[in-house]
Structure 1
Amino acid sequence: MSGPAAFGRLVGAGWTLLRNDALLPRELRDLYPPVVLTLSKALHLMAGRQAAQGRPGERLARSLERLGPVAIKLGQLLSTRADIFGAEFAEDLARLKDRLEPFPTAIARAEVEHALGRPIETLYASFGEPVAGASLAQAHEAVLLDGRKVAVKVLRPGIARRVGEDAEVLALAARLIDRWVRPARRLEPRGFAAAVIRAALLELDLRLEAAGCDELGEVMGHDGYMRAPAVVWEGVGKRVLTLEWAQGWPLSDAEALTQPGLDRKLLAVNLIRAFLSQALDHGVFHADLHEGNLFVAAPARLTAVDYGIVGRLSAPERRYLAEILWGFLQRDYPRVAQVHFDAGYVPAGHSVAAFAQALRAVGGPVFGRAASEVPMSRVLTQLFEITALYDMRLRPELVLLQKTMMTVEGVARRIDPDHDIWAAADPVVRRWMLRELSPPARIRRFAEEAQAALRNLARLVENPPRAPVVVTPTLPARPRWLWFVLGALAAGAAFVARGVIG
Structure 2
Amino acid sequence: MKTITGRLVRLPGLLLRLGWVSAIVFFYGAAVGASAAGARLRGDGRGRGVRDGDRWVRMLTRLGPSYIKIGQLLSTRRDLLPEEVTTPLARLTDAASPPGRRRIVRAVRHAYRDRPWPFREFGWEPVACGSIATVHEAVTLDGQRVAVKVRRPGIERVMWQDFTLTASMMSALSMLPRLRKMPFKLMHAQVGGAILRQLDFEAEATSLTTLRANLVKFGNVRIPAPLPELCTAETVVMEYVDDLTRFAPGELDADTRSAVVRAVLAAIYEMLFVDGLVHCDLHPGNLYFDHDAGLVMLDAGFVIRLPDPVRRSFADFFINMAMGDGWMCGQIVIESAAEIAEDCDLDGFRTELGELVTDASGAKSGEFDLARFAGRLFDLQRRFGLFPAPEFAFPLLSLLVIEGMIKVFDSDVDFQAEAMPVLRRRNMSDKAA
Q: Same fold (TM over 0.5)?
A: yes
Say if 2:226 is the partner of 1:218: no
Q: How does 1:118-137 map to 2 (within 5 A)?
A: 120=117, 122-127=118-123, 129-137=125-133
Cα–Cα, structure 1 residues 357 and 384, in superposed 2: closer, same or farther, change >3 Å? same
Taking the aligned partners of 1:379 and 1:200, their CA distance within structure 2 comes to 24
The aligned residue for residue 349 of structure 2 is 355
Asked whether the equivalents of residues 195 and 399 of structure 1 are also in contact (C-alpha less than 8 Å), the reply is no
Taking the aligned partners of 2:220 and 2:357, their CA distance within structure 1 comes to 27
Asked whether the equivalents of residues 264 and 300 of structure 1 are also in contact (C-alpha less than 8 Å), the reply is no
**How far off is 1:58 after superposition?**
2.5
Taking the aligned partners of 1:54 and 1:20, their CA distance within structure 2 comes to 10
Equivalent of residue 424 in structure 1, options 401, 418, 426:
418
Say if 2:162 is the partner of 1:160: no
Matched to 1:305, the amino acid is: L
Asked whether the equivalents of residues 83 and 376 of structure 1 are also in contact (C-alpha less than 8 Å), the reply is no
Say if 2:237 is the partner of 1:242: yes
Q: Secondary structure at the match of 1:140?
A: strand
Asked whether the equivalents of residues 336 and 389 of structure 2 are also in contact (C-alpha less than 8 Å), the reply is no
The aligned residue for residue 209 of structure 1 is 204
Asked whether the equivalents of residues 327 and 333 of structure 1 are also in contact (C-alpha less than 8 Å), the reply is yes
Cα–Cα, structure 1 residues 189 and 26, in superposed 2: closer, same or farther, change >3 Å? farther
Asked whether the equivalents of residues 323 and 361 of structure 2 are also in contact (C-alpha less than 8 Å), the reply is no
Cα–Cα, structure 1 residues 338 and 424, in superposed 2: closer, same or farther, change >3 Å? same
Q: How does 1:292-307 map to 2 (within 5 A)?
A: 292-297=285-290, 301-307=294-300
Q: Secondary structure at the match of 1:192?
A: helix
Say if 2:426 is the partner of 1:414: no
Say if 2:315 is the partner of 1:319: no
Cα–Cα, structure 1 residues 415 and 185, in superposed 2: closer, same or farther, change >3 Å? farther
Taking the aligned partners of 1:153 and 1:88, their CA distance within structure 2 comes to 30
**How far off is 1:189 after superposition?**
2.7
Say if 2:315 is the partner of 1:340: no
**How far off is 1:428 after superposition?**
0.8
**How far off is 1:229 after superposition?**
0.6
User: Of the two, which has the highest radius of gyration?
Assistant: 1
| Larger RCO, structure (CA 8 Å, separation 6 or more) | 2
Q: How does 1:134-153 map to 2 (within 5 A)?
A: 134-153=130-149
Q: Secondary structure at the match of 2:174?
A: helix
Cα–Cα, structure 1 residues 284 and 300, in superposed 2: closer, same or farther, change >3 Å? same
Cα–Cα, structure 1 residues 197 and 329, in superposed 2: closer, same or farther, change >3 Å? closer
Taking the aligned partners of 2:179 and 2:423, their CA distance within structure 1 comes to 33
Taking the aligned partners of 1:319 and 1:206, their CA distance within structure 2 comes to 28
- Unaligned ranges ≥5, structure 2: 1-8, 41-46
The aligned residue for residue 171 of structure 1 is 167
**How far off is 1:415 after superposition?**
3.3
Identity of aligned residues (%): 29
**How far off is 1:263 after superposition?**
2.1
Equivalent of residue 250 in structure 2, options 258, 263, 266:
258
Asked whether the equivalents of residues 286 and 299 of structure 2 are also in contact (C-alpha less than 8 Å), the reply is yes
Matched to 2:224, the amino acid is: P
Say if 2:177 is the partner of 1:182: yes
RMSD: 3.1
Q: How does 1:444-459 map to 2 (within 5 A)?
A: none
Q: Secondary structure at the match of 2:249?
A: helix
Taking the aligned partners of 1:334 and 1:194, their CA distance within structure 2 comes to 31
Of the structure 1 ranges 377-386 and 124-133, higher mean CA displacement relative to structure 2 is found in 377-386
Say if 2:399 is the partner of 1:433: no
Matched to 2:387, the amino acid is: R
Taking the aligned partners of 2:252 and 2:159, their CA distance within structure 1 comes to 41
The aligned residue for residue 5 of structure 2 is none
**How far off is 1:130 after superposition?**
0.8
Asked whether the equivalents of residues 206 and 241 of structure 1 are also in contact (C-alpha less than 8 Å), the reply is yes
Cα–Cα, structure 1 residues 328 and 5, in superposed 2: closer, same or farther, change >3 Å? same
Of the structure 1 ranges 407-416 and 203-212, higher mean CA displacement relative to structure 2 is found in 407-416
Q: Secondary structure at the match of 2:263?
A: helix
Taking the aligned partners of 1:227 and 1:355, their CA distance within structure 2 comes to 43
**How far off is 1:13 after superposition?**
1.8
Taking the aligned partners of 1:22 and 1:235, their CA distance within structure 2 comes to 48
Asked whether the equivalents of residues 25 and 56 of structure 1 are also in contact (C-alpha less than 8 Å), the reply is no
Cα–Cα, structure 1 residues 370 and 329, in superposed 2: closer, same or farther, change >3 Å? closer
Matched to 2:302, the amino acid is: I
Of the structure 1 ranges 158-167 and 364-373, higher mean CA displacement relative to structure 2 is found in 364-373
- Unaligned ranges ≥5, structure 1: 30-40, 45-50, 446-502
The one-character-per-residue Cα deviations of 1:215-237 (angstroms, maximum 9, x if unpaired) are: 22111114446332111233311
Matched to 1:257, the amino acid is: P
Cα–Cα, structure 1 residues 53 and 318, in superposed 2: closer, same or farther, change >3 Å? closer
TM-score (norm: length of structure 1): 0.73
Taking the aligned partners of 1:265 and 1:5, their CA distance within structure 2 comes to 50
Q: Secondary structure at the match of 1:153?
A: strand
Cα–Cα, structure 1 residues 54 and 171, in superposed 2: closer, same or farther, change >3 Å? closer
Cα–Cα, structure 1 residues 250 and 134, in superposed 2: closer, same or farther, change >3 Å? farther
Say if 2:18 is the partner of 1:10: yes
Taking the aligned partners of 1:342 and 1:129, their CA distance within structure 2 comes to 52
**How far off is 1:159 after superposition?**
1.4
